[in-house]
Amino acid sequence: MTKEVDALEQWLQVNAGDWTGRKSTTECKYRKKLDELVVQQPDGTVGLSIRFRTAAEEMAVQVLKKVSDLAEALAQQLQDFTSDAATSATSATSVALALGPGREAGKIRFQEDEIPISGMHMVKLRQLYEVHNGGQVSEEAFRHRMYCMLRRYVTFIGLDPAQQGSQGGNMHAAAPESVFAWLRDHMGVTCELFASPLNCYFAQYYSAFPDVDAFFGSRGSFFDVDDLPEGSYEVGPPYTEEVMELMARKLLRHLQSSEAQRRALSFVVFVPHWGDDCTALSLMGGGDFEAFRPSPCKSSESPYLLARGREHHYISGVQFFHDSGADARRRYYDVPHGTRIYVLQTSSGASKWPFDEAAARALLDKLSPAEQQKSWAARWNVLMPCGNVRPPLTNPLAILFTLNPGCSSQPYALLFL
């Protein structure tokens, strides 16, 4: 790698002092891809990013294999049991669940591994589990499956349960409840394409780990779906270019096939404002998607809505660790970058769920910090009344829609969880 390192050093020296703040790709040399740095090889010219990836790939695969093997071993150990076997579990394989007093967070423990979980999420996960597993469920099975799911996400995100703070957990962040409530009421949204049992708003969603998420309502991975059911969906992918590009191409295929079949399909997509050098953003703003954009997003100059950085809120990605209480400042954070919102619909979808200029303004308003500050305290007191860790499932304030797993046209939604 000597040639590659030398080339990188020379480039840094040539461009030293050019950084004066974040600029467009045409103005700032530091935002150009490493592939513009090339090294002559015997078989031709190769970009540096490819060379660096080749050098590190073997070690990265080894690390991923170790993590995968450990996760598989834990899942095998904890999930290979029947309902009958669960009742006779020994202390060596049992999962303990300690509830905090009143509204406080609890802890779930397997052997020496202890993971904190907020009281609100304890309520949410139990409700999701009961809905999707037939009401009367084995407590032991519920605890095992909740632990497996929590451990998977804590490991995947890279969190340390002993530490507070975001710790990179904002990769698991979510749009605020006010946005989802508006999408449900005005756009007919009933399902999320990228969620988890921990950050989902609706009780039906697609997620990254269906092997542990299915017990809590996951329909599987969006990328494994060949024929997406007719409906209106919220789309909030992980903010990585590769995943977003795969998402954009798959959304386009679903839109094209549904348009040909005259099916109603609608997507409201939330992605970072990274500039059109990001392939996914360039695709969704390009000609292939033009026929699927409603009138407020028809302009080629602005095919999306923009929530400006530091002027809108998201829910913390580690919301499930610690209860934030009624203080909205502990639950939400200022998003440092802009957020683009693409609305993409088939003709039938646009007729069924119209999106106009007034709707565009209303949706952006729901992302504002003021919207979260004025309403979270009231929602918290409804969700978690003092001294009642688990609101009864029959409480009409705890559930928005009738809990009816057999009714795919009207999925049930948990209230602001």
Please tell me whether residues 51 and 177 are part of one structural domain.
Answer: no
Closest by CA to 175, choosing from 399, 361, 340, 324, is: 340
Residue 155 lies in a domain: no
Closest by CA to 286, choosing from 265, 301, 272, is: 301
Q: Span 4-25, mean pLDDT? A: 57
Is residue 235 within 8 Å of residue 247, measured between CB atoms? Answer: yes
Q: How many domains are there within the chain?
A: 2
Residue 102 lies in a domain: no
Is residue 155 within 8 Å of residue 209, measured between CB atoms? Answer: no
Residue 375 lies in a domain: yes
Please tell me whether residues 303 and 182 are part of one structural domain.
Answer: yes
Residues in Cβ contact with 345 at an 8 Å cutoff, skipping those fewer than 6 apart:
255, 265, 266, 267, 292, 293, 294, 353, 355
Question: Best-predicted range by mean pLDDT among 76-90, 288-302, 395-409?
Answer: 288-302
β-bridge partners, 41? 44
CA angle (197, 198, 204) in 5-degree steps: 30
Q: Span 17-45, mean pLDDT? A: 50
Is residue 399 within 8 Å of residue 382, measured between CB atoms? Answer: no
> Is residue 335 over pLDDT 60?
yes
Question: Please, which pLDDT band fits residue 272 given cuts at 50, 70 and 90?
Answer: very high
Residue 335 lies in a domain: yes
β-bridge partners, 234? 192, 268
Q: Which CATH number fits the domain that encloses residue 288? A: 3.40.50
Q: Span 360-376, mean pLDDT? A: 81
Per-residue pLDDT of 171-199, as tens digits, reads 788 999 899 999 999 999 999 999 999 99
Residue 186 lies in a domain: yes
Residue 65 lies in a domain: no
Question: Please, which pLDDT band fits residue 387 given cuts at 50, 70 and 90?
Answer: very low
β-bridge partners, 414? 399
Residue 103 lies in a domain: no
Please tell me whether residues 54 and 188 are part of one structural domain.
Answer: no
Please tell me whether residues 362 and 213 are part of one structural domain.
Answer: yes
Is residue 310 within 8 Å of residue 367, measured between CB atoms? Answer: no
Per-residue pLDDT of 141-178, as tens digits, reads 999 999 999 999 998 888 876 666 555 566 788 999 89
H helical segments located in 229-301? 241-260, 279-284
Please tell me whether residues 38 and 179 are part of one structural domain.
Answer: no
Residue 300, SS3 per DSSP: coil
Report in angstroms the alpha-carbon separations of 175 from 116, 223, 236, 280, 296.
Answer: 23, 21, 8, 20, 21
Q: By residue range, what is the domain housing residue 30?
A: 2-58
Please give the pLDDT value at position 415: 38
Q: What is the CA radius of gyration of the chain?
A: 23
Distance, in Å, from the CA atom of 41 to the CA atom of 46, rounded to the nearest integer, reads 7
Per-residue pLDDT of 205-242, as tens digits, reads 999 999 999 999 999 999 999 999 999 999 999 999 99
Please tell me whether residues 372 and 243 are part of one structural domain.
Answer: yes
Residues in Cβ contact with 401 at an 8 Å cutoff, skipping those fewer than 6 apart:
410, 411, 412, 413
Per-residue pLDDT of 49-98, as tens digits, reads 556 667 777 887 888 788 778 877 777 776 665 444 444 444 567 999 98
Distance, in Å, from the CA atom of 380 to the CA atom of 130, rounded to the nearest integer, reads 22
Residue 191 lies in a domain: yes
